[in-house]
Amino acid sequence: MHNPRHTYLERWVRLSPDKPTGTVYVLGTELSLDVSGSAPVGATSFDVWGTAGVNLYIVHKGETLKIPSCVPRWPLETNIEAVITMDTPSIKVNSDKVRISYYKDNGKGAMAQALLHLTCVEISLDVDTSRSGTVNRKAKNKRKWTWGPEGKGAILLVNCDRDYLSAKDMDNQDKKVESYADLKDMSLMILTTCGPEGIFDDYRLVLHVSASDHDKVGVFHAKGGKKLHQFKHILGPGTLSYLVEHDGFKEKNFYVEGLSFPDVDFSGLVSFHITLLENPSEGLPDVPIFNDTVVFRMAPWIMTPNTLQPISVYICSVKSNADFVADVSKLAVKAGCKLIICPEQENRGDRWIQDEMEFGYVQAPQKGFPVVFDSPRNGMLNDFPFKGVLGPDFGYVKREPANKKTVSSLDSFGNLEVSPPVTVRGKQYPLGRILIGSYFPSFQGNNMVKVVRDFLYAQKVQLPVELYSDWLVVGHVDEFLTFVPAPDRKGFRLLLASPTACYRLLKQKEEEGHGEALMFEGVKKSKEVSIKKMLSDQTLRNTNHYYQKCIDWNRDILKEELGLTEDDIIDIPQLFRRSPTAGKAVAYFPDLVNMLVLGKYLGIPKPFGPIIHEQCCLEKEVCRLLEPLGLSCTFIDDFETYHENLGEIHCGTNVRRKPFSFKWWNVIP
C-alpha cells in the first residue's frame, strides 16, 4: 500500500467539532489530522470522508490504508492517524472538504462531526540542483548539497568580475545590475506559486536567507519586466527577508550572486527559504505553515597547473629587459599564446609579476571565468591585478593580513604552485594539490600569512601540501621545483633542483678531461670559474650537501602527498651558494627549474655553464633529460635582468591557462 510519508513533509492540523476549520494544503506535503484531539467525550470510534480532490489514508498499527477501505469505522486510539494528500491546485478557495464523524460504542448516528475546508496551492522554490545549467522543477532533497558525480545541489559564482567598464569596483559590490552580462554571472532561482485567486491575500509568503549567510550573497528580482532598471536588490547584507508580492504571475525569477569565497569562517554553503505564514489572530505574530529550502555552494577558486594549455603570458617591461621580453615573446608565439606586456608606467620598475598574483578560475554549470588572486606582497605592481586584469568576465580576489608588517617573502606567489592531477593511495585529486612553502617544522621561521593559507585550505578541491622553502633567501617553492607535461605515466614529471646531479655531471666532465672548462664565460660582472675549481671548493660543496638535504626533505613529502615514485621525478643539475648577507641559499648559476612552461615549449634560464665541444654542458644535460618527453628547450638569458636580482624566468612571467575539463563539483574532498 502507498505510504505518503515516503515522499511528503508532514504538518499537524487541529480540528474542532464546534466549527469548520480552514487551511491551505501545499502540494508535496501531507496533513496529519488531530483525530483524537477533536473527539468529544465518550466517543469510541470514527470514520473519515473527503471530496474527490483529496487522498485519505489511515495509519494504524504500522499499516497505511487508503480510504475508502473495507473498514467502516476506526477505533479511537492514540496511535491512529488520518493523513491527507492532494494532487492538483484548487480552482476555488475551500473547494475541497474532509469530514470526521465520531461515534459512541456501536451507535448508528454520529454524535459529533469535525469539518475541514481545504484549498490546495503549489509553492516551490527551485534551482539547478542537477548541475545541468537549467533549473530543475520540483526536485527532491533540495535542502542538501552533496559532492561527486552523483551529487546534487546548486552552484553559485562569486560575482567578482567587472562587466560594466566604467564601474569602480567588482560587480558584486554595488547592489545593482549594470549590464545583462552581469546577470549571466548569477544563478537563477525560480519561485512557483499556483492557487485560486485571492488565496494568498490571507497568507504571507516570505523569501529569506539564513542569518549567518546574508553577507555572503545578493539577490535581485525583476519587478514587472526585464529592463535593467527593474532589477531590484531584495536580499543581501543587512536584508534577511523579502515579502513576496502577489502580482498574478505564477513564476518569479530571482538572480543570486555570490559575494564571498569559501574561507575559514564560511563553508561556502548558503541556504534560501520560502515560508508561507498565516495569521490566526489579529494582533499576534504570523505562524509558519510551510517551508521550502534550497542550498547553493559557492564555487571555489581553482588554480591551474603547468600541464594545462596556456592562453596568455604576462610580463613586465622594465629598463634593460627588452631582449628578455623579445625572447619570451618568440616563445609565446611558438606556443600559440597571447603576450600581455605590463608597461613601466604601470609596473613602476617592479618586474616580479609571478610574485604579485596567481591566475585561477571559478566555474558553475552555466558559465565560468578566470579570477586573479592578488597577493599581499604589495610591491610596485600592487595596483596591476585590480586595475590591469579585473574586467569583463575576469574576476579578482585578495587576502591580506590586518597587520601588513607580518607579510614576508613567503607571501609572494612564486611560493604558491599547484601539482597536476594525482591519485594518492587510492584517493583522487583530479584538480591536483596546491603547494606552498613554509619553514622547517622543528624551528621558527617565516610562514605564509594565515589569511592566505586559510583561504587556500577553504577552497577544499585542491588540498594544500606544505613544503620547506625557508632555507632559501627568497623562500619560494618555484626555486627548487616545477612540473612539465609528459606523454606517459601520470601525464607529467616533477623536476627537482639537484646539487648531487650537478656535482655528478661536473665530475664526469672533469674525468673526461674538461676540468679547465669555464663557468660564466663571457658573462659581465661574474667571475669565470673552472670545473676543477668548483669541484675543489669545499665550502661550496658542504653548503650544497646541506641544500640537497633540504630538497630531499621536500622530495619525500612530495612523494608521500602526491603519490609519486622515483620514475615520476627528474633531477635537474643545480648548485646554490650561501648568501653572505642573509645566510640562506641563492642560485649559484641561473636556476634551471625556475622555467616558463608553455605546453611542450620550455623557456629555461640560460645557465652559462662550461662550454664543451661548443655546447654548454648544463644545457646539453637538461635537453638530454627533457627532450625524450617531447619537450622543446629554449634557453633564455635572464642573468643580469633577473638572476642577479635573485629571480629567474618563472619569477618574471605569469601564465593564464585553460580551466580543467573536469568539473570541480565531481570531486570527493
Note the Cα 288 to chain centre separation in Å.
34
Sheet holding 29-33, edge to edge: 9-13, 29-33, 80-86, 54-60, 63-67
The verdict on whether omega for the bond into residue 365 sits within 30 degrees of 0, i.e. cis, is no
Q: How far apart are CA 111 and CA 39, in angstroms?
A: 10
Q: Is 550 helix (H, G, I), strand (E, B) or coil?
A: helix
651 flagged as catalytic: yes
Buried/exposed 654-669: b ≥16 CB within 10 Å, e otherwise:
bbbbebbeebbbbbee
Smallest CA-to-CA distance from 163 within 392, 395, 397 is with 392
The burial of 124, by beta-carbon neighbours within 10 Å (0-12 exposed, 13-18 middle, 19 or more buried), is given as buried
Cα-trace Rg, the chain:
34
Q: How far apart are CA 442 and CA 438, in angstroms?
A: 12
Helix (H) or strand (E) holding 181: helix 180-184
Note the Cα 451 to chain centre separation in Å.
16
Q: How far apart are CA 390 and CA 219, in angstroms?
A: 23
Instruction: From the candidates 502, 617, 623, 651, give the one annotated as an active-site residue.
Output: 651
Taking a C-beta distance cutoff of 8 angstroms, is the pair 39, 46 a contact?
yes
Buried/exposed 424-436: b ≥16 CB within 10 Å, e otherwise:
beeeebbbbbbbb
Q: Is 590 helix (H, G, I), strand (E, B) or coil?
A: coil
Taking a C-beta distance cutoff of 8 angstroms, is the pair 381, 352 a contact?
yes
Note the Cα 110 to chain centre separation in Å.
64
* Residue 660 DSSP symbol: P
Smallest CA-to-CA distance from 128 within 477, 341, 333, 366 is with 366
Q: How far apart are CA 565 and CA 423, in angstroms?
A: 12
Q: Which residues contact 183 (CB under 8 A, 6 or more apart)?
A: 177, 220, 231, 255
Between the two ends of the chain, the Cα-to-Cα distance in Å is: 40
* Residue 312 DSSP symbol: E
The DSSP line for 31-99 is EEE-TTTTPPTT--EEEEEE-TTEEEEEEETTEEEEES-S-S-EE--TTEEEEEEESS--SSTT-EEEE
Q: How far apart are CA 521 and CA 607, in angstroms?
A: 11
Q: Which three cell numbers stand for residue 297?
A: 555552494
Q: How far apart are CA 435 and CA 393, in angstroms?
A: 27
CA distances from 37 to 9, 40, 81, 454 (A): 21, 9, 11, 55
- Mode of pairing for the β-strands spanning 357-363 and 302-303: antiparallel
Longest dimension (CA), the chain: 121
3-state helix, strand, coil in the chain (%, to 5): 20, 35, 45
Active site positions, annotated: 651
